[in-house]
Amino acid sequence: IMSRDPDRQTAEIQIRIAIMNRCSALGRAEIEAVQ
């Protein structure tokens, strides 16, 4: 986490969670498509 401001830290964490959720959703979609 780069920012020292607590509000910015929470925003960064939320962005990272959103990116991870998107990546895992894409991974699940690929697995389902293969089956």
Tokens of 11: 């925003």
In the DSSP assignment, the letter for residue 3 is -
Residues 16 and 8 sit within 8 Å (Cβ to Cβ): no
Residue 1 clears pLDDT 60, i.e. is over it = no
Angle at 10 between CA 20 and CA 5, to 5 degrees: 135
pLDDT tens sequence across 4-28: 888 888 999 999 999 888 877 777 7
Environment class of 25 (CB within 10 Å of its CB; exposed 0-12, middle 13-18, buried 19+): exposed
